[in-house]
Structure 1
Amino acid sequence: MSTSQAQSLAYEVAAPAAPPKFPLDQWYVAGFAWELKDKPIGRTLLGQPVVLFRTADGRPAALEDRCCHRALPLSHGTLEAQGVRCGYHGLLFNGAGQCLEVPGQERIPTKARVPAYHVRERDRIIWIWFGSAEHREPTCEPPAYEVHSSGEYLYDGGVYHYQAPYQLIHDNLLDLSHLGYVHLRTIGGNASIHMNARMRVESDDSSVRVVRHMPGSVPPPTYTAAYPFRGKVDRWQEIEFRVTHLRIWTGAVDAGSESLDDPRRGGFHMRGFHGVTPETESTSHYFWTIATNPRSNPEETKAKVVEQTVMTFDEDKVVIEAQYRNMLAFGPRPLVDIHVDVGANRARRIIERLRQAS
């Protein structure tokens, strides 16, 4: 082999595999505002390697995580006032993917660019647009989440990485009947009450709403640790599903004290944001926050709720990943549906319809 042949082969790379098929023309959660600090963050979202960072003027940016010179992930680089600098040969790229500097030479090649994604920050959530060929530009603004900005709640959150497909996480969040079996130490309670709760399911072309009421319940450990209930409570669970995220409002009031249909009811509240973004067809990112309304000792109470929530999500993660491992081990055997699966099944139909349309 000649020297020229060896040099040519040294820079050949395999053509990228076709990206997994997910619903497009959607704003997906890419992270939280507080994650973008002094280092770039690399994440694979919908099969696409992306580098996230904040520009000098405070705006979030997202580029393909690949330097156009020798393909090092830009997430291995460093942040500067003008953008992200590659950690291999120092090429500097701004938030639009334009190369601003090639160290050691004045001329910047015209092809020295990196693809950029549309990204927005709203209510402390970082959203990224994955559009179809027909809708490269966003067709709408990302969703608002006033719970983070209204001042009515204290909140915190984090990020999980799942070795499981994203729709298994949807299934889990849309069916809270499992609380009495999986979360006995935290938000569980009487399993029979959970399984027999009055449930209402509504849906349209893009959303599913599940409402469950559990009057006369014994408050679970998380609730009694955060709120001075007098005895039994009337509990509620309200779940709103969208393709890229879910909002879950749970809580309780002293039994018989208020109507669970009153949108301004008091008592103890937990408002959860759940951004479920596929990484690949078999792995997922789970971006969550939990907000609460402490009656006393605000920071201490919030810390208790967050701690209990983390314990809850740890328990869910164990179950979901074990479920998926078993699915792989046993192969494509049919599964039996029961009454609590209505919401999850409707969500899957919405996703499949949007996936086919992408």
Structure 2
Amino acid sequence: MTVQQFSPTEASPTPTKSTAGTRHNFPLDMWYVAALSSELTDKPLGRTLLNEPVVLFRTADGAVNALEDRCCHRFLPLSAGTLEDNGVRCGYHGLLFNGDGKVIEIPGQEKVPSRAKVQRYVVKEQDALIWIWFGNEVNSEPTCEPPHYPVHNNPAYHYSGDVFHYNAPYQLVHDNLLDLSHLGYVHLKTIGGNASIHMNAQMDVTQDGNSVKVVRHMLNSTPPPTYSAAYPFSGKIDRWQEIVFHPSHLEIWTGAVEQGSEPVDSPDRGGFHMRGFHGLTPETDESCFYLWTMASNPTQNVEDTMKKVFDQTAFTFDEDKVVIEAQYENMKRFNGKKMIDIHVDVGANRARRIIESLKQA
């Protein structure tokens, strides 16, 4: 066996280039959700986004930073390092990187080479969400602000959230969220209800630029378990589902009022509300992160009610994850077989056409 030796003046070994997918497999020149603000604590957070390994961290001044997840010395992931007041320190030889990706200290070495740096990503914290810009060019600057989500700052609502990892492409989760007819079959223990009412609900689908809105009304329904646990309904209810798709995320407003008490399309309707933020960010071509929050408007026993809403929402999403990952595994097994569409697929199909057009832009 031949052993290669390198002197300090010789070039270091060059790592093998990856053949994995690239960011260009997805829509670019847009913001994606990288993390929930609550995820950035006292450790760097490593996460692959659009096929690119990224490390996210917060410095002592509260600023959020994102760099490619490698030390430029020997390529240990920076997410395996530690945080300091002004940057992240590599856990192998101690190189200290600031938020711009530049090495500002090499232990035992006074001079820092000018090329001792890694790629910096543009990130912005807004409405308790961390957004990251992916441009068509690697170092491009944003051409717009990240989307706002004012629900997180609305005093009428309390919210909590979490992150799921899916072994399935992100557009399968888009499909799932744009078609809530599945609730009556998949989520009988939480937000489901009568399957026939779900499948036959009045549905209106509209498109505005790169957004799709799906509105469904289910009048004279029996409250599903989550609704009964969170709100004192006295009998039948009138339910609404309003889903707005954006290429980076979906906003879903669901809820109910006492049957016949007020219009379910009134912008200031009362009753029980669940307002969900659903950030879908590709990890790779075949996996994704689902970053979500759920807000509600409890009028009494706020802490207990919100725990019920959060726990049952998480249970619901667990059920979706099982279905979607099984679906994708079977899609690979039956590769080449064509799917058919039914009436509930209108919104999802429009969203897919939008994503495809953005990929080709």
Query: Does the Cα contact within 8 Å between 1:129 and 1:138 map onto a contact in 2?
Result: yes
Query: Does the Cα contact within 8 Å between 1:40 and 1:78 map onto a contact in 2?
Result: yes
Amino acid at match of 2:197: I
Alpha-carbon separation, structure 2, partners of 1:175 and 1:199: 10
4+ aligned runs moved over 3 Å, structure 1: 1-10
Query: Does the Cα contact within 8 Å between 1:63 and 1:117 map onto a contact in 2?
Result: yes
Alpha-carbon separation, structure 2, partners of 1:151 and 1:16: 47
Alignment correspondent of 1:71: 75
Taking only aligned residues, the RMSD between alpha carbons, in angstroms, comes to 1.6
Indicate yes or no: 2:22 matched with 1:19: yes
Amino acid at match of 2:167: Q
5 Å-filtered alignment, 1:99-114, equals 99-114=103-118
Alpha-carbon separation, structure 2, partners of 1:340 and 1:3: 61
Q: What is the deviation of 1:204?
A: 2.8
Indicate yes or no: 2:117 matched with 1:128: no
Query: Does the Cα contact within 8 Å between 1:239 and 1:248 map onto a contact in 2?
Result: yes
Amino acid at match of 2:36: F
Indicate yes or no: 2:259 matched with 1:255: yes
Indicate yes or no: 2:90 matched with 1:90: no
Identical columns (%): 65
SS of 2:284 mapped into structure 1? coil
Alignment correspondent of 1:222: 226
Q: What is the deviation of 1:285?
A: 0.3
Deviations 1:64-123 (A, max 9, x none): 001111111000000001100000000000111111100001000010011100000001
Specify which of 37, 52, 60 is matched with residue 33 of structure 1: 37
Amino acid at match of 1:19: T
SS of 1:75 mapped into structure 2? helix
Deviations 1:118-142 (A, max 9, x none): 0000010000000112981101111
Deviations 1:30-76 (A, max 9, x none): 01111111000000000000000001110110000011111110000
Alpha-carbon separation, structure 1, partners of 2:177 and 2:126: 23
Say which is worse superposed, 199-208 or 243-252, in terms of deviation. Answer: 199-208
Alpha-carbon separation, structure 1, partners of 2:40 and 2:241: 32
Alpha-carbon separation, structure 2, partners of 1:242 and 1:38: 32
Amino acid at match of 1:315: E
Alignment correspondent of 1:186: 190
SS of 1:108 mapped into structure 2? coil
- The TM-score, its normalising length taken from structure 2, stands at 0.96
Say which is worse superposed, 235-244 or 146-155, in terms of deviation. Answer: 146-155
Amino acid at match of 2:221: S
Change (3 A) 1:343 1:135: farther
Alignment correspondent of 1:159: 163
Indicate yes or no: 2:73 matched with 1:62: no
Indicate yes or no: 2:143 matched with 1:139: yes
- The TM-score, its normalising length taken from structure 1, stands at 0.97
Q: What is the deviation of 1:245?
A: 0.2
Indicate yes or no: 2:207 matched with 1:203: yes
Say which is worse superposed, 14-23 or 319-328, in terms of deviation. Answer: 14-23
Specify which of 295, 306, 309 is matched with residue 305 of structure 1: 309
Aligned residues: 357
5 Å-filtered alignment, 1:164-179, equals 164-179=168-183
Query: Does the Cα contact within 8 Å between 1:25 and 1:135 map onto a contact in 2?
Result: no
Q: What is the deviation of 1:297?
A: 0.5
Alpha-carbon separation, structure 2, partners of 1:30 and 1:2: 42
SS of 2:360 mapped into structure 1? helix
Indicate yes or no: 2:49 matched with 1:45: yes
Q: Which runs of 5+ in 2 are unaligned?
A: none
Indicate yes or no: 2:323 matched with 1:319: yes
SS of 1:247 mapped into structure 2? strand
5 Å-filtered alignment, 1:276-291, equals 276-291=280-295
Amino acid at match of 1:11: P
Q: What is the deviation of 1:16?
A: 2.8
Alpha-carbon separation, structure 2, partners of 1:273 and 1:150: 14
Amino acid at match of 2:22: P
Amino acid at match of 2:191: I
Amino acid at match of 2:67: L
Alpha-carbon separation, structure 1, partners of 2:5 and 2:314: 56
SS of 2:235 mapped into structure 1? coil
Alpha-carbon separation, structure 2, partners of 1:241 and 1:116: 29
Deviations 1:210-264 (A, max 9, x none): 0000000001000000001110000000000000100000000000001111010
